[in-house]
Chains A and B, each alone.
Chain A
Amino acid sequence: MAGLELLSDQGYRVDGRRAGELRKIQARMGVFAQADGSAYIEQGNTKALAVVYGPHEIRGSRARALPDRALVNCQYSSATFSTGERKRRPHGDRKSCEMGLQLRQTFEAAILTQLHPRSQIDIYVQVLQADGGTYAACVNAATLAVLDAGIPMRDFVCACSAGFVDGTALADLSHVEEAAGGPQLALALLPASGQIALLEMDARLHEDHLEQVLEAAARAARDVHTLLDRVVRQHVKEASILLGD
């Protein structure tokens, strides 16, 4: 990698973080009044909004209804101005479709879909600013939105990305680190049970290093869980004060 040192000899990354350190996470639940659930998250400079509608009747073709569980419907879109170079379409391109499918897979593993047979749950995520780790930010925002909608889940779903540079695993990659082209791993974890809801890795990585990278991502995902848990508790406390309980 010419010119750019992703990890200095002193163990600092380009933005000054340590290898296992997360970027600053700020989140808020209940951003919109009209949706059933909504949340906003900032992970460093990556900003994402998630909105949940449902469970409600199946929209469109009835043939899609599942007799034993709810249909989880996800759409990922990313604002045309979210990336460095302007995008032509906010959704409908190959990457967005793939993201939608990944989100669907992630949340089908977490939501107790069997409680709402023949109904539909819509999860829409919108990336407002992309600076690496968009999948993780979307999953984390969507978790908060599903919780805000009061839809029963097995557990939080917490996601984080990880990479591998010079024999060290890096957690929560930024755009610069992603663009450098090393191996990347995206992990969605159900922290209480330690189960993995989604795991994806691209580029080449030696088998011996996988465990180290996976462990870094899982540790980061648990850190994310601590933060999200705090946000949820704070939100519930505020809501209950407003209700006068």
Chain B
Amino acid sequence: MAHGRGGGVAGAGATRADDVRRAGRLGSMASVALSEAEKVYIVHGVQEDLRVDGRGCEDYRCVEVETDVVSNTSGSARVKLGHTDILVGVKAEMGTPKLEKPNEGYLEFFVDCSANATPEFEGRGGDDLGTEIANTLYRIFNNKSSVDLKSLCISPREHCWILYVDVLLLECGGNLFDAISIAVKAALFNTRIPRVRVLEDEEGSKDIELSDDPYDCIRLSVENVPCIVTLCKIGYRHVVDATLQEEACSLASLLVAVTSKGVVTCMRKVGKGSLDPESIFEMMETGKRVGKVLHTSLQSLLHKEESLGPKRQKVGFLG
């Protein structure tokens, strides 16, 4: 058996086949059934830096990004990464700032694992996975540099913008976290918040005035918004952007949130298996390296799309 052969995977029962079958997969994610021979084929391939679809270990699948797909949101984006299909809508609503941060707005994340992705998500079936992803998103944005929250403040202690970032999972074909983080970044890039002014009269009562010009908007700087790079440990090597089949072969993976400068804002180990400390550092280095490249290409893609202007032919789900 190929798994557990390398030094990467520790833990006594890790070589047992049923552990492999269960591991690397989140509670209720869409699953694939793989035979022992198929797994050996995948694991041996990864050791030779050649994956089933012909990619190398540090290659992403082709990513399709389109912004401004839902017109009644402040910003939206759709990302297709292999068979993984994500739609993100951002809605800006006015609210009161949090007590501990009176001069900042905030972001709220919600992930809907819709039954479209797999029948297992019907009813409340997708709630666990949705909460897990939403919590990860909260964590990667939980630092001062990701988004300039002060720009979302309208008047301290009274009014601020709340950005509701709603993620809709339409199809899952592996590597959910990376696809979602790319979609969130693209949607935040696309977000336009109406400009408001606070007018104060002599008696001290405040009035909020919305700009007359619908194009008079503020935009967020997404320069420091991190993207997640998930590194899947397969055998004694690790791969980025694993497909469902590869995820089924992996015992554990490491999730690294990297900014465009290579700063890590969050790190998590996911999956049932265990990882040894050396491989964690190794995976982190790969994550930073791959993350920087990912950011550069995403940024150029977003700017290119924007330069086409409002006359761009929208494709959406029709293309």
Partner of A126, one of B114, B166, B318: B114
B317 near A122 with CB under 8 A, answer no
B76-124, CB < 8 A from A: 76, 83, 85, 87, 89-91, 93, 110, 112, 114-116, 118-119, 122-124
Tell me which residues across on chain A come within 8 A of B72, comparing CB atoms: 45, 81-84, 129, 131
Q: In the assembly, what is the distance between CA of A89 and CA of B311, in Å? A: 34
- Separation in Å of the B52 CB from the closest CB of chain A? 16
Q: CB of B137 within 8 A of chain A?
A: no
The answer, yes or no, to whether A59 is at the interface (CB within 8 Å) is yes
Residues of A within 8 Å of B, CB-based: how many? 34
**Segment touching B, from A25-33, A154-162, A212-220, A235-243:** A25-33
The reply to whether A26 and B110 contact each other, CB–CB distance below 8 Å, is: no
Contact in complex: A49, B317 (CB < 8 Å):
yes
Q: Does B173 contact A (CB under 8 A)?
A: yes
Known: A34-B30, A40-B317. Is A81-B116 also a contact (CB below 8 A)? no
A54 vs chain B, min Cβ distance (A)? 9
For B141, list chain A residues within 8 Å (CB): none
- The CA of A132 and the CA of B30, in the complex, are separated in Å by 33
Are A45 and B164 closer than 8 Å at their CB atoms? no
Q: Report which of B71, B116, B317 forms a contact with A35, defined as CB distance below 8 A.
A: B116
Known: A26-B318, A34-B171, A79-B89. A45 touches B123 (CB 8 A): no
- Give chain A interface residues in 5-47, CB to chain B under 8 Å: 26, 28, 31-35, 38, 40, 42, 45, 47
Closest residue of B by beta carbon distance from A28: B318
A122 to B83, CA, bound (A): 20
Q: Is the CB of A79 within 8 A of B168?
A: yes
A residues bordering B, Cβ < 8 Å? 26, 28, 31-35, 38, 40, 42, 45, 47, 49, 51, 53, 59, 73, 75, 77, 79-84, 86, 90, 92, 122, 124, 126, 128-129, 131
Q: What 6 A-B pairs come out closest when comparing CB atoms?
A: A81-B89, A40-B317, A124-B115, A80-B166, A51-B116, A90-B112
Query: 21 A-B residue contacts at CB 8 Å?
Result: A32-B171, A34-B118, A45-B72, A51-B116, A73-B122, A75-B115, A77-B112, A79-B166, A80-B168, A81-B70, A81-B76, A81-B89, A82-B70, A83-B72, A84-B72, A86-B164, A86-B166, A122-B115, A122-B122, A124-B122, A131-B72
